[in-house]
């Protein structure tokens, strides 16, 4: 199978073309795609048409498919037989007017998927099924580059420290620590993580999920976190993906964040997500 990997003219991402993801891949091709994914962080496969089974089977060639963080009885999706491995990202409703998926409408701030869990999932695979006429783009931010852009003074101040990652399934709002963390998924994580496969260091904070820095007064924590988030979202490290139906994006959650732009609420946006299991995050030396 002849396929090509074309890096985007952007700080993150590459397009993979000439490959049908419904077909089981040979080991050398899997290895080549996996290496391209480690190198480019985000891979976009165009013109695919995958069923749930086919999407999960494709993902499974690169690792173990993950189970969702949302408690099963709080999931909107009817995903019989998938044990929580499939999530629909959509504002679509059923005939009774109930949402059939999660993360329904509008803009969403930058975040890492599952950074609030002890073992964040390493990859997310998102397949575009139906899209609005405009907006609903996904911005991907390269967090290796973000790390490089942090001034030395801040790097030294934060070396070896942790950040509290907490998430309550919002899209444009941090967890309010004043109200406490009871019932809210949260995890202390290294601010600077060492990628277990590339060995490179990445910044591991986000606007949506990072709440407070360990060992700093509230004011200094908020000030430094604000500066880190600006660096993490700097347009110089971002690629904005305009989806086409049939796109499948596969990204590395250990060294990138992503965000969604607004889109018309009266139009349907439907994407299908699965993930690959990861391991505890390791702090940079």
Where along the sequence are the contacts to Fe ion (CB under 5 A)? 113
Q: What is the DSSP letter of 26?
A: P
Nearer to Fe ion, 77 or 113 (CB): 113
CA–CA dist 47, 45 (Å, integer): 7
Q: Among 189, 183, 169, which residue's Cα sits nearest to residue 117?
A: 189
Q: What is the DSSP letter of 262?
A: -
CA distances from 90 to 26, 87, 130, 136, 148 (A): 33, 9, 9, 11, 35
Nearer to Fe ion, 114 or 150 (CB): 114
> Nearest distance from residue 126's CB to Fe ion, in Å?
8
Which residue's entry shows tokens 């942090």? 150
> Nearest distance from residue 70's CB to Fe ion, in Å?
12
Which H, E and C letters describe 59-102, residue by residue?
HHCCCCECCCCCCHHHCCCCCCCCCCCCEEEECCECCCCCECCE
| Three-state secondary-structure class, residue 274 | strand
Nearer to Fe ion, 221 or 257 (CB): 257
Nearer to Fe ion, 138 or 201 (CB): 138
CA–CA dist 194, 111 (Å, integer): 18
CA–CA dist 236, 226 (Å, integer): 17
Nearer to Fe ion, 62 or 167 (CB): 167
CA–CA dist 239, 259 (Å, integer): 11
> Nearest distance from residue 244's CB to Fe ion, in Å?
19
Backbone angles phi, psi at 146, to 5 degrees: -55, -45
Nearer to Fe ion, 113 or 233 (CB): 113
User: What is the DSSP annotation of 147-171?
Assistant: HHTS-HHHHHHHTT-EEEEEE-S-S
Residue nearest to Fe ion according to CB distances in the complex: 113
> Nearest distance from residue 209's CB to Fe ion, in Å?
10
> Nearest distance from residue 258's CB to Fe ion, in Å?
6
> Nearest distance from residue 84's CB to Fe ion, in Å?
16
> Nearest distance from residue 9's CB to Fe ion, in Å?
24
Nearer to Fe ion, 113 or 252 (CB): 113
> Nearest distance from residue 256's CB to Fe ion, in Å?
10
Nearer to Fe ion, 125 or 228 (CB): 125
CA–CA dist 156, 149 (Å, integer): 13
């Amino acid at each position: 199978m002849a396929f090509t990997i074309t890096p985007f003219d952007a700080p993150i991402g590459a397009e993979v073309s000439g490959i049908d993801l419904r077909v089981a891949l040979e080991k050398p091709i899997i290895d080549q795609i996996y290496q391209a994914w480690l190198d480019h962080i985000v891979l976009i496969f165009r013109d695919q048409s995958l069923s749930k089974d086919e999407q999960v089977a494709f993902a499974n060639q690169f690792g173990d498919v993950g189970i969702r963080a949302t408690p099963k009885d709080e999931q909107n999706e009817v995903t019989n037989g998938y044990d929580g491995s499939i999530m629909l990202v959509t504002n679509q409703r059923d005939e009774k007017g109930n949402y059939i998926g999660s993360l329904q409408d509008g803009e969403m701030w930058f975040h890492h998927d599952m950074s609030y869990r002890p073992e964040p999932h390493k990859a997310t695979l998102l397949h575009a099924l139906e899209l609005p006429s405009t907006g609903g783009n996904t911005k991907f931010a390269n967090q290796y580059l973000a790390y490089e852009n942090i001034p030395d003074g801040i790097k030294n101040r934060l070396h070896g420290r942790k950040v509290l990652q907490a998430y309550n399934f919002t899209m444009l709002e941090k967890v309010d620590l004043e109200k406490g963390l009871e019932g809210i998924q949260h995890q202390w994580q290294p601010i600077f993580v060492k990628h277990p496969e590339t060995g490179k260091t990445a910044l591991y904070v986000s606007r949506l999920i990072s709440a407070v820095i360990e060992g700093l007064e509230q004011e200094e924590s908020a000030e430094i976190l604000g500066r880190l988030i600006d660096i993490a979202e700097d347009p110089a490290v971002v690629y904005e993906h305009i989806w086409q139906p049939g796109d499948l994006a596969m990204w590395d959650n250990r060294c990138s964040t992503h965000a969604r732009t607004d889109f018309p609420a009266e139009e349907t946006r439907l994407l299908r997500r699965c993930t690959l299991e990861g391991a505890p995050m390791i702090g940079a030396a």
